Chains A and B, each alone.
Chain A
Amino acid sequence: MTTIERRPTTLDHLEALESHAIYILREVVAECERPVLLFSGGKDSAVLLHLAVKAFAPGGLPFPVLHVDTGQNFPEVLAFRDETVDRTGARLLVASVQDAIDRGLVADPGPTGSRNRLQTTSLLGAIQEHGFDAAFGGARRDEDKARAKERILSFRDAFGQWDPRAQRPELWQLYQGRVNHGEHLRAFPLSDWTELDVWQYIARDRVALPSIYFAHHRDVLRRDGMWLAVNEFVEPRAGEAVERRLVRYRTVGDATCTGAVESSAATLDEVLAEVATATVSERGATRADDRFSETSMEDRKREGYF
């Protein structure tokens, strides 16, 4: 038998998570032919891109970034996307849901309907068109009970589907990136990060974010138990009152189904304090798309969603 030595742990949890994520980024790039990084402009993808830059410094990113654009964006997020791409020198690809609608690939949900689910078609289309065999995503296991089940390297069949009943074993940190033609992997370097970890890391590393993550005044209306920003995609329906409130966003997604939370947290410290004491989950507070049924995320993921 080996003698067991006890040695003080020298890494704190953020250092351990950061190094693990960088290790995953390098491993997938080494094992796969054509990776891509999915970049929404949200905080998780901002952290992911920040880690990717670190992983391959001083060289540039060895893969492009892909924005699946629903066409219903917050302007601050689009501006942030473009700034970030300029700053990092990343090559930006845009898969447009509007395009898919125009080409008749998916039905138009109407000018104010949610395009969230339609992103899957555009995403899978882009993966096929460019021949990507791995797509990095910023999804975290603490976000949802179906995500909690997913591997760090998650296999997708030729139809882009996830089969939660037949996931590949994933032993130690031996991430296994081999796929056959037409199949691909999703890789989630932030799998083990929580919302609080992400914010602690943003604070520690001064990761830039879109301004809407911090408190600001905005015209909002109450719908499905959420505060939706009033803009060209969200207009008041009969009985809905427009109010000006102090809000911020906890997640960033399609403007028609991403809610704001009432908050006065305008600085990183204030956001950290708020996140540490939150009583409602990130998706529970802000995503209408998860409210349809008990397993909406599982169902979307099976189809090939992020």
Chain B
Amino acid sequence: MDLLTRDLLRVATIGSVDDGKSTVIGRLLVDTRQLFDDQLEAVAHASARRGVGDLDLSFVTDGLRAEREQGITIDVAYRYAATPTRKFIIADCPGHVQYTRNMATGASTADLALMVLDVARGLKEQTRRHLCIAALLGVRAIVVAINKMDTVRWSESAYSAAVDEVATAARELGIADVTCVPTSALLGDNVVAASLHTPWYVGPTILDALERSDAGAWDSAEGARLPIQWVLRQPGGGRSYAGMVSGEPLAVGDRVTLLPAGISTTVTALRGPSGPRDAAPAGVAVDVELADDLDASRGDLLAREPLPTVTRELRATVCWFGDEPLRAGARLRVKHTTRSTPAIVEAVESRVDVERLEIEPADALATNDIGVVRLRTADPLVVDDYAQHRVTGGFILIDPVSNVTRAAGMVGDPGLPGTSARA
């Protein structure tokens, strides 16, 4: 049997609570026969036991006891689907505002967001928050299920009104690639099978849209980056530096700079998981040997031009998940690439009003707020703007006592076209 070579597309669901995210994913998996018979039986059995009909499709991903009891998603469920050419990793995220941190977890690795919107209820604050977070995280393509079309008697005008609302918000947030689909996840219309109820609609089903998307191949990063994870000792006393390549490919013979030290050298050997190679693209775990004997260790970074910035002062956009508001003076740890160091919040500058998608001055960020802060770090960090480079632009803030992750941070302005002018 042939070993199928497939590419990977990472999808995360976003949208407000109860609009039907889990049901869409359940429908997608059931109608493409990605579920095993026993899993389907278990969902049917659980549905009957809880008196929620023959088959509650949200139970396909809502697998925790508490989720089934309450009928909501609490944390991300990961599900997998495969077509002959593509493997999908699907993160079904919770919609409830209390679990925004879990939604950010699921969306942070997504190439594409599958947004679900209840056609009768339109864009709610939480939908806008999710869209905003997805846009900040760098998701540039969304497929939008305008869902529960059965509740508006398949009205084309209701659909068009929802599409307009989505288009306006996406434009303000700089999301370039938007595909809307009128669906009923409950009844199965336009998720996998084309609907007979929407003769006025000629576009793709949700499955078509996911299969056609090239969002997984998007990359705006320039310059190769290799954050050093670990030093490997080579026979004969040499050393090699292990890490995952990001940005442009890294190749043998490349002139690279060790940062923050600022020393130039050349890559003399490069190995991937299956042995030596000439070059490695982003996403390959490699180890490299260098022409010069340098004092390089975990937390340092090898970069090819254009070089990142070495700094102890960061201006960054953060999504704050802490229970207490974030204010100037807060002491946290930052983890950025493979480096961790203490950080102090110098100032909270502004927050995003997610309802109006505008930036307003602020001196604190409440739980689940998005805003701009200035940080000072004990050790220097080697950063790019997040908009240029996800790996060297992203960081997390950690509570130094409990070790819980309190924030997702992105170096630079939110970069939302509709907002940056007012910042």
User: Which residues of A line the B interface, CB within 8 A?
Assistant: 1-16, 18-20, 22-23, 26-27, 29-30, 51, 54-59, 141-142, 144-146, 148-149, 151, 164-165, 167-174, 176, 178-180, 191-192, 194, 196-197, 200, 203-205, 269, 272-273, 276, 278-281, 284-285, 294-295, 298
Contacts and interface: CB of A to CB of B under 8 A. Distances in A.
B403 A298 contact: no
Contacts of B52: none
Interface string B1-16: 1011111100000000
Contacts of B415: 1-2
A4 B234 contact: no
B335 interface: yes
B6 A298 contact: no
A178 B403 contact: yes
B250 to A, nearest CB: 13
11 contacts: A7-B219, A11-B283, A19-B285, A27-B229, A30-B298, A55-B242, A141-B78, A145-B63, A176-B396, A196-B82, A284-B37
Given A51-B273, A141-B80, 6 more contacts: A30-B230, A145-B64, A164-B66, A169-B405, A179-B403, A269-B1
Contacts of B105: 151, 169-171
Contacts, number: 210
Contacts of A55: 242, 285
A170 B101 CA distance: 9
B60 to A, nearest CB: 8
B36 A191 contact: no
Contacts of A165: 64, 66, 74-75
Contacts of A276: 1
A172 B216 contact: no
How big is chain B's contact interface, by range?
Answer: 35 or more
Contact of A164 (B7, B45, B74): B74
B8 A284 contact: no
Contacts of B89: 192
Given A16-B8, A171-B408, A23 B244 contact: yes
Contacts of A142: 79-80
Given A142-B80, A146-B64, A176-B398, A16 B230 contact: no
Residue in B8, B77, B395, B404 with the greatest tally of chain A CB atoms within 10 Å = B8
Nearest to B62: A145
Contacts of B20: none
Contacts of A20: 283, 285
Contacts of A141: 78-80
A171 B80 contact: no
Contact of A174 (B3, B82, B335): B335
Nearest to B336: A174
B87 interface: yes
B232 A3 contact: no
Contact of A7 (B46, B80, B217, B387): B217
B27 interface: no
B405 A281 contact: no
Contacts of A178: 333, 398, 403
Q: Give the interface SS of chain A, mostly helix, strand, loop or mixed.
A: loop
A181 to B, nearest CB: 11
B335 A22 contact: no
B330 interface: no
Contact of A176 (B74, B335, B417): B335
Given A6-B218, A192-B78, A280-B37, A13 B235 contact: no
B152 interface: no
B78 A148 contact: yes
Interface string B129-163: 00000000000100000000000000000000000
Interface in B374-419: 387-388, 390-391, 394-396, 398, 402-405, 408, 415, 417
A178 B234 CA distance: 29
Given A176-B398, A178-B398, A192 B80 contact: yes
Nearest to B66: A165
A11 B282 CA distance: 9
B6 A13 contact: yes
Contact of B36 (A12, A51, A205, A279): A279
A278 B174 contact: no
B214 A176 contact: no
A34 B408 CA distance: 27
Residue in B104, B283, B387 with the greatest tally of chain A CB atoms within 10 Å = B283
B39 A19 contact: no
Given A1-B174, A6-B217, A278-B36, A295 B80 contact: no
Contact of B232 (A23, A58, A284): A58
A158 B402 CA distance: 13
A279 B59 CA distance: 19
Smallest CB-CB A-B distances: 9 pairs: A145-B63, A284-B38, A281-B36, A22-B285, A19-B285, A178-B403, A12-B5, A13-B87, A169-B101
B350 interface: no
A169 B408 contact: yes
Nearest to B6: A13
A279 B66 CA distance: 28
Given A30-B230, A178-B403, A279-B36, A169 B219 contact: no
Contacts of B174: 1
Contacts of B403: 176, 178-180
Nearest to B103: A169
A298 B218 contact: no
B284 interface: yes
A168 B404 CA distance: 6
Contact of B109 (A18, A173, A180, A205): A173
B422 interface: no
B285 A58 contact: no
Residue in A19, A281, A295 with the greatest tally of chain B CB atoms within 10 Å = A19
